[in-house]
Amino acid sequence: MLQDWVRHLDWLDLSHSGLQLALRLGPRILASLVLFALGIWLAARVANLVRRMLSRARVEPTLIPFLRNSLYGALIVFIAVAVLGYLGVPTASLVAAVGAAGLAIGLALQGSLSNLAWGVLLILFRPFRTGDWVDAGGYSGSVEAINLMHTTLVLADNRVAVIPNAKVGSDAIVNYSRHGTRRVEAQVGIAYTADVDQAIAVLQAMLMADPRVLADPAPQVFVATLGDSAVNITLRAFTQRSNWWPLQMDLTRLVKHALDGAGISMPFPQREVLLRRPS
């Protein structure tokens, strides 16, 4: 009987202590929950406001959701740490643990984070845009898409190359489309007996007569080298980006027709063989 009374008194004492603890911590816990909910609401509002500002600033659309979600996540972590500090939880060790976890995740995802960082830089600085013809990451093709992790090129034979952004950003990038014009070039050899000035005038007139060739900058025709069997002439002309490939393919044929029409011969390598009879 005495043991039952002791157990009953112990239970009453524990109940009383729990009630006092609940009365003491209840308002703080309730206030913490309210602050955390309010903080989440404010974080969402701030993140959405930043997203609208980025949209008005014409930031690359691919980058806007990433920046918005990154800001929102950082705000949530800050609010959670602040609320725990309000509850009396030591936050120094918590911040250190979060930092250590972030470092471990960063080391584990080093390659992916490198691609992500280069993707952000490529989208921000825009060394090329969708539709540009570029040399990047060891490939040459038209840019189909620029994502945070990789860049997609369509090659000349219609193959698709998906290149990690770290490889694209860490090497030289050649953009053939940035200025809207490209230069075509061809070389032709004429006979040493032909009139060089006449050949240059004929080829210059041929280029100027083609509507795809731009007048500014003016096309160039000049003697490049004196070869073993021919005088080598170089032709250079600028055209719009959309006309570059058709003009480059037509240029050699047009040169042949122009020189044939002017009666200017194009020699081929010849050798003189001297035969000696034994005496």
Longest dimension (CA), the chain: 147
Q: Supply the pLDDT for residue 17.
A: 55
Q: What is the pLDDT of residues 55-82, one digit of tens each?
A: 776 666 666 776 777 777 778 877 777 7
| % of the chain beyond a pLDDT of 90 | 35
The mean per-residue pLDDT over the stretch 95-124 comes to 66
> What is residue 128's three-state secondary structure?
coil
Q: How far apart are CA 213 and CA 182, in angstroms?
A: 10
Mean of the per-residue pLDDT values of the chain = 80
Given strand 231-240, what is the order of strands in its sheet? 181-190, 231-240, 220-226
Q: Supply the pLDDT for residue 240.
A: 93
| % of the chain beyond a pLDDT of 70 | 75
Q: Supply the pLDDT for residue 82.
A: 77
Q: Supply the pLDDT for residue 199.
A: 94
Q: Are residues 70 and 149 part of one domain?
A: no
The mean per-residue pLDDT over the stretch 84-90 comes to 68
- For residue 177, name the pLDDT band (cuts at 50, 70, 90): confident
Q: 75 lies in which domain range?
A: 21-108
15 has pLDDT over 60: no
Q: Are residues 186 and 164 part of one domain?
A: no
Closest among 143, 236, 250, 233 to 181, alpha carbons compared: 236
**Structure pTM?**
0.59
Residue 152 belongs to domain with CATH number: 2.30.30.60
Q: What is the pLDDT of residues 236-256, one digit of tens each?
A: 999 998 899 999 999 999 999
10 has pLDDT over 60: no
Q: Supply the pLDDT for residue 153.
A: 95
Q: Are residues 135 and 71 part of one domain?
A: no
Q: Choose the final residue of a domain: 152, 175, 198.
A: 175
Q: Which is higher by pLDDT, 1 or 183?
A: 183
Q: How many domains does the chain have?
A: 3
Q: Are residues 145 and 88 part of one domain?
A: no
> What is residue 143's three-state secondary structure?
strand
